[in-house]
Amino acid sequence: MFPPSTVTDPELVRDLQERAARGQPATLVEDARGWWLRLAPGGAWWVGSVLPHRPARGADLAQRVAAAEEFYRAHGAPPAFQISPPACPDGLDELLAARGYRRECPVSLQVARTVEVLDRLAPGALRVELDDRPSRPWLDTWLAVHAAGGDPGGERELLDRVALPSGYARALVGDDVVAAGRAVADAGWAGVFGMVTLPGARGRGAARAVLAALAEWAAAHHADHVYLQVERGNVAARRLYGRAGFTELCGYHYRIAG
C-alpha cells in the first residue's frame, strides 16, 4: 500500500530516489556516510547531483555540504543537490540557498500500481516494439527531442551503464518511430524514464501507447509498482500520468551552485 497523500513516508522516497539513481547511473558514486556524491560528465547535472539521504544537523550539516563541494571541485564540476524534503535533512535547502545555490527544475515523483496502469491504458491503434537494449531508432528519437544538435555520447554512455533489466519501447506510424520510453526493473518496482514524443506526433496517443507497453513489460518482470519523475511544467505528461493512475508521492527540486 502507498502512504496517504497527506503523509509521505521518507524511507519510501529515499528508496525510490535511489532506485532512480540506479536507473540513471552516474559515472562515479562516492558514499559519504550515506550521502551519495555522484559525478556525470557531459551535461547530465541531474544524474550527477548529491543524494543527501541521511540525517545531519547543525555543524555536521554544514561540514557535509562543504565536503560535497570539495568533491565536485576536485572533479572540476559544479555542485548540485537533489532536494526531496521528506528524505533530506531539515534545513539543508535553506542552508544551500544561503550559500548562493539557485533553485531549479521542480519535479513530481509519482507512483502507481502496475495493474491499475494496465487497466486504464487499453492498447491503442499504434504499433509498439520493445527491445532489451536501445536500438538506433529508439536513441535517434530520444536525441531528436532532448539533444538535437548536441553530443549524444553522454546519453549512450549512461544507457550502457544500466546494469538492471531494461525495456525500450518505441511507437511507430508506418515505419517511423514517433515516441519512445524505457523502463528499468528493480526488485518489485519498475522506473519509467526517457518518455519522448516527436512534436509532429503529439496528441495522437503515441506516449500513451509507449506507457502501456512499458507497464506490460513491468508486469512481465514481476514489478507490481511503477514510479516515474516528471517536471511540474510538463502539463501534457502529467495529464497522461494522472489518467494512467499515477499519484504524486512527493515533489522535489535541485539546488545548483551559482
Which of 54, 84, 108 finishes a domain?
108
Which of 108, 141, 164 finishes a domain?
108
Strand ranges inside 74-188, DSSP E: 80-83, 102-113, 127-131, 166-173, 176-186
Average pLDDT over residues 97-119: 97
Residue 257 lies in a domain: no
32 neighbors 20 (Cβ within 8 angstroms): no
Q: Are residues 71 and 143 in the same domain?
A: no
Read off the pLDDT band of 6 (50, 70, 90): very low
d(CA 177, CA 144): 11
Residue 163 lies in a domain: yes
Domain encompassing residue 209: 111-251
Residue 5 lies in a domain: no
d(CA 113, CA 116): 5
pLDDT of residue 5 exceeding 50: no
Q: Are residues 90 and 173 in the same domain?
A: no
Q: Name the grid cell of 232.
A: 511540474
Q: Are residues 58 and 132 in the same domain?
A: no
Question: What is the structure's pLDDT at 148?
Answer: 57
- Predicted confidence (pLDDT) per residue in 29-76, tens digit: 999 999 999 998 766 888 999 999 999 999 999 999 999 999 999 999
Question: What is the structure's pLDDT at 8?
Answer: 77
Nearest to 41 by CA among 23, 26, 19, 21: 26
Residue 198 lies in a domain: yes
Question: What is the structure's pLDDT at 7?
Answer: 53
pTM above 0.85, yes or no: yes
Average pLDDT over residues 73-101: 96
- Predicted confidence (pLDDT) per residue in 115-137, tens digit: 999 999 977 789 999 999 999 99
For residue 88, CA distances in Å to 37, 49, 102, 254 come to 14, 13, 17, 12
Which of 55, 88, 108 finishes a domain?
108
Q: Are residues 140 and 79 in the same domain?
A: no
Q: Are residues 206 and 115 in the same domain?
A: yes
Residue 40 lies in a domain: yes
d(CA 24, CA 42): 14
Please count the structural domains in the chain.
2
Residue 210 lies in a domain: yes
Query: Which ranges constitute the DSSP H helices of 10-135?
Result: 10-23, 58-74, 92-98, 114-120
Q: What is the CATH number of the domain that holds 178?
A: 3.40.630.30
Residue 256 lies in a domain: no
Q: Are residues 189 and 242 in the same domain?
A: yes
d(CA 176, CA 197): 12
Q: Are residues 121 and 100 in the same domain?
A: no
